[in-house]
Amino acid sequence: MDGYTFDSLSEARRYGELKIEELAGNISALKVHPRFCLDVNGVHVCDYEADFTYCRNGRFVVEDVKSTATVTRLYRVKKKLMLAVLGITIQEVYGT
């Protein structure tokens, strides 16, 4: 869809919803699969690739479409690192 490859139908559907919200002016600056570098004390630990980022009501949102199968131990560690290193809380959207 729009040249992007999505990991699931739920993620593709969410992209469609966010595009509609962007066109309606409810969100802005929609990005697909942005990467975040997670470094601790000058050491690169890992990268985190979100599903989407956007601005809503002046607030930066990092969003990940999840299912019970995709909430892995690695994801939970990266989620904690995003908060600890960058001060960003990932908003999880559970797909169908």
pLDDT digits (tens, 9 = 90+) for 15-74: 999 999 999 999 999 999 999 999 999 999 999 999 999 999 999 999 999 988 889 999
- 18 is a domain residue: yes
CATH at residue 83: 3.40.1350
Q: How many domains does the chain have?
A: 1
In the predicted model, is pLDDT for residue 95 greater than 90?
no
pLDDT of residue 96: 59
DSSP string, 53-96: EEEETTEEEEEEEE-GGG--HHHHHHHHHIIIII--PEEEEE--
- 27 is a domain residue: yes
In the predicted model, is pLDDT for residue 5 greater than 80?
yes
pLDDT of residue 53: 98
63: containing domain: 9-94
Structure-block tokens of residue 63: 């969003």
